[in-house]
């Protein structure tokens, strides 16, 4: 059994409550915490922004990548390179512009799609489902599937390597908070699914331990006429997410958790009212990134805590340094210049350090780490 060393203490000039009524002489609050936002914390009150650095040396730095500039085209999801990865997670992006010529099957773990652009038809063991921009689709490990785009599609692929996706424990707010599980859609054994059950030869590309095997059939192996149980492909759109909110307290990112695996979480930021209480912090608080690497994919809107970030870009803040809002965003928050957010973003927080794939070198903005400089 283990227990955190805990001894609540107060020292010097402080606010009585975290993230609210910050001292005028030290308006920059920094949170140091463990286990993401679930362990013990300390809150420091600084006279200067904790991110007002002048120079970075070494590999540990905030990084930004423009995935719009990547070549993402492939007829197979296994042609999409791993952009960020570790032993428990793989983060990829894929353009599917034409109907897949083969079925795919991931033997390494559950797959999570996030549809960034386009729409199409998903055929899988469980039936047929239409998928569109803004959808999350959880594909259980071992499921056979293929996509026929109705228009060109771009999607994130996040693999839970040797793991599965589950829903977060919603605790005091109840199981219907954030989204009601009744909103999860499953595929149908419908006419469109039955129509593809013919004698056309199909191959299944199976990924296991990072290697591909190919199995040939003289018919469509998606030939089920029914199924029952509590395991399935499921879909939910970000528009069906109703975020937790507090007009008097800025909630941490963990309040927006959508899916969880053993060693990482996926959170979704969607439009919401900004805190209205005069003393409440109105932008993300500065915090130490001590136990998790943080990845943010920007899907749509105006990203209120970031400057010069557009849809289709990714920021990566590896564990080990303090990060927080850009200076312009912080000042806008102090003035309560915006009354609501207008952003949709997917966050991946991993407990284990992520490696950066080779393809990212050509699409990185090397000046991103300088965008917090105090002299600018």
Kindly list the structural domains of the chain, giving each domain's residue range(s) and its CATH number in brackets, ordered by start.
28-65+242-372 (2.60.120.10), 72-238 (2.60.120.10)
Question: Do the annotations mark residue 323 as ligand-binding?
Answer: yes
Q: Residue 151: enclosing H or E segment and its boundaries?
A: strand 144-161
Residue 105 DSSP SS3: strand
Question: Do the annotations mark residue 247 as ligand-binding?
Answer: no
pLDDT value, residue 375: 62
Question: Do the annotations mark residue 9 as ligand-binding?
Answer: no
Determine whether 236 is exposed, middle or buried from the number of CB atoms within 10 Å of its CB (0-12, 13-18, 19+).
buried
DSSP letters, 166-222, are BPPP-GGG-TTSBS-GGG-B--B--HHHHHT-SS--EEEEEEETTEEEEEEESS-S-
337's CB contacts (< 8 A; 6+ apart) are none
Residue 247 a catalytic site member: no
**Model-level pTM greater than 0.85?**
yes
Q: Sign of the C-alpha dihedral, residues 212, 215, 216, 219?
A: negative
pLDDT value, residue 34: 87
Average pLDDT, 10 consecutive residues per value, the chain (376 residues):
86 90 91 85 92 91 96 94 97 97 98 98 98 98 98 98 96 94 97 97 97 98 97 98 93 93 97 92 86 96 81 95 86 83 96 97 94 74
CA atoms within 13 A on the CB side of 213: 8
Identify the active-site residue in 43, 88, 128, 250: 250
């Amino acid at each position: 059994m283990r227990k955190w060393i805990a001894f609540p203490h107060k020292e010097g000039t402080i606010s009585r409550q975290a993230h609210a009524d910050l001292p005028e002489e030290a308006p920059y609050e920094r949170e140091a915490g463990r286990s993401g936002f679930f362990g013990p914390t300390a809150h420091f009150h600084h006279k200067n922004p904790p991110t007002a650095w002048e120079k970075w040396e070494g590999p540990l730095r905030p990084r930004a990548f423009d995935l719009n500039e990547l070549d993402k085209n492939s007829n197979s999801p296994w042609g999409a390179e791993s952009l960020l990865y570790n032993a428990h997670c793989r983060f990829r992006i894929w353009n599917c512009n034409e109907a897949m010529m083969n079925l795919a099957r991931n033997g390494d773990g559950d797959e999570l799609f996030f549809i960034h652009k386009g729409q199409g038809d998903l055929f899988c063991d469980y039936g047929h489902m239409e998928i569109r921009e803004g959808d999350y689709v959880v594909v259980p490990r071992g499921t056979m599937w293929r996509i026929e785009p109705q228009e060109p599609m771009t999607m994130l692929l996040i693999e839970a390597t040797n793991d599965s996706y589950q829903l977060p424990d919603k605790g005091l707010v109840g199981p219907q908070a954030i989204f009601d599980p009744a909103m999860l859609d499953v595929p149908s054994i419908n006419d469109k699914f039955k129509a593809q059950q013919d004698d056309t030869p199909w191959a299944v590309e199976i990924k296991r331990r990072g290697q591909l095997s190919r199995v040939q059939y003289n018919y469509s192996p998606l030939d089920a006429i029914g199924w029952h149980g509590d395991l399935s492909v499921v879909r939910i759109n970000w528009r069906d997410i109703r975020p937790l909110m507090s007009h008097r307290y800025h909630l941490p990112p963990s309040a927006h958790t959508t899916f969880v695996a053993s060693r990482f979480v996926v959170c979704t930021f969607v439009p919401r009212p900004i805190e209205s209480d005069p003393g409440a912090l109105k932008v993300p608080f500065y915090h130490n990134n001590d136990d998790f690497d943080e990845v943010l994919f920007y899907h749509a809107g105006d990203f209120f805590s970031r400057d010069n970030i557009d849809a289709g870009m990714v920021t990566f803040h590896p564990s080990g340094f303090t990060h927080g809002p850009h200076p312009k965003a912080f000042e806008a928050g102090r003035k309560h210049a915006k009354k609501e957010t207008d952003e949709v973003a997917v966050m991946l927080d991993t407990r284990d350090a992520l490696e950066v794939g080779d393809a990212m070198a050509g699409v990185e903005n090397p000046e991103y780490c300088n965008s917090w400089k105090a002299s600018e």
